[in-house]
């Protein structure tokens, strides 16, 4: 076994920190988006959370794990809809991954079981009401992802919820 280079370890320790989040965009047959209401902060969110990268978890694995934990749905995730760089002031920047959870059946919707330690409720919200529930970059990210689904354009690259250029 080789000994790590102390200069390299010092270099790595001095690099900026970035948080990684991953969430899933689920819709119903009417196109409404599934939102969850966390008990630890104001507002609504998508099923998802922080990727446990120290455990070697990928963003896709994190989104799947969080979905199972938060709403009890164990579904295969579709494509990556959006990657969003969200700058931070009181926290490190976040790279947010948003995956396509597809259209849920009535049976799947009836089987949703909330993680009581973190969530108060869930609801299906039409596109035109999303801005009332999702603030800032998250709201813009979800709308951009819905546009990508509707147009079939694949993954969108965002910066604070706006198209990156």
* Ordered DSSP codes for 100-140: EEEEPPHHHHHT----TTTEEEEEEE-GGGHHHHS-HHHHH
79 close to 100: Cβ distance less than 8 angstroms: yes
What are the pLDDT digits (tens) for 6-62? 788 888 778 778 899 999 999 999 999 999 999 998 899 999 999 998 889 999 999
When pLDDT is cut at 50, 70 and 90, the band that residue 66 belongs to is: very high
Which H/E stretch holds residue 156? strand 156-159
Residue 1 pLDDT = 62
35 close to 47: Cβ distance less than 8 angstroms: no
What are the pLDDT digits (tens) for 96-154? 999 999 999 999 999 999 999 999 999 999 999 999 999 899 999 999 999 999 999 89
Residue 10 pLDDT = 84
92 close to 72: Cβ distance less than 8 angstroms: no
Residue 53 pLDDT = 82
């Amino acid at each position: 076994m080789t000994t790590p280079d102390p200069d390299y370890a010092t270099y790595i320790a001095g690099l900026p920190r970035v948080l990684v989040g991953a969430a899933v965009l689920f819709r119903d047959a009417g196109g409404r988006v599934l939102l969850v209401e966390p008990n630890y902060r104001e507002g609504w969110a998508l099923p998802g959370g922080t990727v446990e990268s120290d455990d070697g978890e990928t963003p896709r694995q994190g989104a799947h794990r969080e979905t199972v934990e938060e709403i009890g749905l164990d579904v295969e995730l579709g494509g990556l809809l959006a990657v969003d760089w969200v700058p931070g002031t009181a926290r490190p920047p976040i790279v947010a991954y948003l995956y396509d959870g597809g259209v849920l059946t009535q049976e799947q919707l009836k089987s949703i079981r909330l993680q009581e330690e973190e969530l108060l409720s869930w609801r299906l919200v039409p596109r035109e009401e999303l801005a009332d529930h999702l603030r800032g970059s998250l709201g813009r990210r979800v709308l951009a992802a819905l546009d990508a689904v509707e147009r079939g354009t694949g993954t969108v690259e965002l910066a604070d919820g706006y198209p990156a250029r």
